[in-house]
A and B are shown apart, each in its own frame.
Chain A
């Protein structure tokens, strides 16, 4: 088996993995019509119905608002699977998998955006998206 595993990056419009090897990040979309900030990017602003946005990289570190460790996850995902909501300084809350040992996870801890495999189907095709990990040196 030398063949490369097939991988799909989920929503490259709001999650960027730079090709130069620098750290992955999420993208906020600021509505040009009303100035409201959205994540993930929507085609139409829910507040003013404008269709134009300015995209800006978000800070990579936020604070964990709440979480759970699922022992009965969705079919096809492996248990235990931790998932949580992280609050960022731009006022956006993001929900994603937490790649940290369950006993080390605590409400209020700093977590940072990384890329990871969030699911794998029966044929081995992997979906890559954002996950939260503990903050490493130079994370901010």
Chain B
């Protein structure tokens, strides 16, 4: 296995409603990443396209995008596992370079949700799922986690709101975010209820975006004069089926996935400076600070109250504003997180910059499937 480095990244803005079609979001992200790497499209030897299927309006979406960007004639694959799609693309591109199949590979994540879905509806498991037919939604699943967590550990709606306030404050430093107005705990707890105890302002907005990541070997990265950003771990795992009693306050797939990722990377939570996590709802940072080992089970209430997950704390969660305030372009998110982490590690994150950021972790899960904690969990650990 060869070491793999990020040599080019590119990302569009995050739009509530994209002014351009989904394919163009992909093309722009690719263009920015190629420019960033200083390579031609003909140097890219394989492309993986992550997208939640059909939502961007095309089958063979990756070929539609990449072949019009000078990359026709190489292996191009479309990959899907809900919100993890873009992160899976990064994982596959990484494997090509690591295994010597290619010297340069590209991962793209794109989602143009606004073109495909009606505003004001909730993502849901499909009706073939025994819980899907009962009407469960993704916000509903996270709301049940929140309800149980609050019941067991004494977290309040204000504790959840505090995470949303922080992530909005972070998003205000992010020129790509569409959300630049500060919000207060009071506004958040009094906002319209989506799925009790989660309000609208405790839920991530769906947005449209494209992101691209180009990976290569250390030798090539040095030839190209890139600031070195190494992928220490690229972990993909799936849920374990059970219809027995599952502790909904302990995110099994993330506990297991992060443990494996730390082992591969040879680092621990104490080494991580920043995390982009799957903060689709305000309860998630409580669940994931614990699942990733930044504090013990049940200790996130105090950890977050004392600012342990903020600038100046133990680790900065969601420096770009996270899914909560930057937005969640589902199939794009996993790739977008790697782009943001790369900027932080290169010291190019502008007003969002975490001082002396050495190691970053990106985390995205995906898919509500009955019997599974989540369908998929993807974790990347990167270092400068």
Q: Cβ of A1 < 8 Å from any Cβ of B?
A: no
Chain A 1-42, CB-CB to B under 8 Å as 1, else 0, gives 000000000110000000000000000000000000011100
Q: Cβ of A83 < 8 Å from any Cβ of B?
A: yes
Interface residue from A11, A68, A70, A83 paired with B130 (Cβ < 8 Å): A11
Knowing A46-B241, A92-B244, A107-B148 touch, does A68 contact B133 (C-beta < 8 A)? no
Please determine whether B195 and A69 come into contact, CB atoms closer than 8 angstroms.
Answer: yes
Q: Please give, as numbers and ranges, the residues of chain A lying within 8 Å of B198 by CB-CB distance.
A: 68
Q: Cβ of B16 < 8 Å from any Cβ of A?
A: no
Interface residue from B118, B135, B243 paired with A83 (Cβ < 8 Å): B135
Chain B residue with Cβ nearest A92: B243
Knowing A73-B135, A74-B137, A95-B131 touch, does A68 contact B143 (C-beta < 8 A)? yes
Please determine whether B245 and A87 come into contact, CB atoms closer than 8 angstroms.
Answer: yes
Q: Please give, as numbers and ranges, the residues of chain B lying within 8 Å of A39 by CB-CB distance.
A: 243
The stretch of B60-68, B119-127, B167-175 that contacts the partner chain:
B119-127
Q: Please give, as numbers and ranges, the residues of chain A lying within 8 Å of B144 by CB-CB distance.
A: 66-68, 83-85
Chain A 59-85, CB-CB to B under 8 Å as 1, else 0, gives 000000111111111110100010111
In the assembly, what is the distance between CA of A38 and CA of B193, in Å?
Answer: 34
Please determine whether A107 and B196 come into contact, CB atoms closer than 8 angstroms.
Answer: no
Q: Please give, as numbers and ranges, the residues of chain A lying within 8 Å of B137 by CB-CB distance.
A: 70, 72-74
Give chain B interface residues in 303-362, CB to chain A under 8 Å.
none
Please determine whether A72 and B134 come into contact, CB atoms closer than 8 angstroms.
Answer: no
Q: Cβ of A119 < 8 Å from any Cβ of B?
A: yes
Q: Please give, as numbers and ranges, the residues of chain B lying within 8 Å of A38 by CB-CB distance.
A: 243
In the assembly, what is the distance between CA of A66 and CA of B249, in Å?
Answer: 11
Q: Cβ of B194 < 8 Å from any Cβ of A?
A: yes
Please determine whether A70 and B134 come into contact, CB atoms closer than 8 angstroms.
Answer: no
Q: Cβ of B139 < 8 Å from any Cβ of A?
A: yes
Main secondary structure of the interface of B (DSSP, over half): loop
Chain A residue with Cβ nearest B247: A65
Please determine whether A118 and B195 come into contact, CB atoms closer than 8 angstroms.
Answer: no
Q: Classify chain A: how many residues form its interface, as a range.
A: 35 or more
Please determine whether A83 and B136 come into contact, CB atoms closer than 8 angstroms.
Answer: yes
In the assembly, what is the distance between CA of A96 and CA of B135, in Å?
Answer: 8
Please determine whether A93 and B246 come into contact, CB atoms closer than 8 angstroms.
Answer: yes
Please determine whether A71 and B193 come into contact, CB atoms closer than 8 angstroms.
Answer: yes
Please determine whether B130 and A40 come into contact, CB atoms closer than 8 angstroms.
Answer: yes
Please determine whether A91 and B245 come into contact, CB atoms closer than 8 angstroms.
Answer: yes
In the assembly, what is the distance between CA of A10 and CA of B132, in Å?
Answer: 12
In the assembly, what is the distance between CA of A107 and CA of B245, in Å?
Answer: 15
Q: Cβ of B140 < 8 Å from any Cβ of A?
A: yes
Please determine whether B244 and A127 come into contact, CB atoms closer than 8 angstroms.
Answer: no
Q: Cβ of A112 < 8 Å from any Cβ of B?
A: no
Q: Cβ of B147 < 8 Å from any Cβ of A?
A: yes
Q: Cβ of B27 < 8 Å from any Cβ of A?
A: no
Q: Please give the distance in Å from A114's CB to the nearest CB on chain B.
A: 14
Please determine whether B136 and A95 come into contact, CB atoms closer than 8 angstroms.
Answer: yes
Q: Please give the distance in Å from A34's CB to the nearest CB on chain B.
A: 14
Q: Please give, as numbers and ranges, the residues of chain B lying within 8 Å of A85 by CB-CB distance.
A: 144, 248
Besides A65-B245, A69-B196, 20 other CB < 8 A contacts? A65-B248, A66-B145, A66-B147, A67-B147, A68-B196, A69-B195, A70-B135, A70-B139, A70-B196, A71-B195, A72-B120, A72-B122, A72-B195, A74-B124, A83-B136, A83-B140, A95-B131, A95-B134, A95-B136, A107-B148
- The 8 A-B residue pairs whose C-beta atoms are closest, nearest first, are A68-B143, A66-B148, A66-B144, A95-B131, A69-B196, A70-B195, A68-B195, A71-B193
What are 28 inter-chain pairs, A to B, with CB distance below 8 A?
A: A10-B133, A46-B241, A66-B151, A67-B147, A68-B140, A68-B144, A68-B195, A68-B197, A68-B198, A70-B195, A71-B192, A71-B195, A71-B196, A72-B137, A73-B122, A74-B121, A74-B124, A74-B136, A75-B121, A83-B136, A91-B245, A92-B244, A95-B134, A96-B134, A107-B147, A107-B151, A118-B133, A118-B134
Residues of A within 8 A of B (CB): 10-11, 38-40, 46, 65-75, 77, 81, 83-85, 87, 91-93, 95-97, 102, 107, 118-119, 127, 129
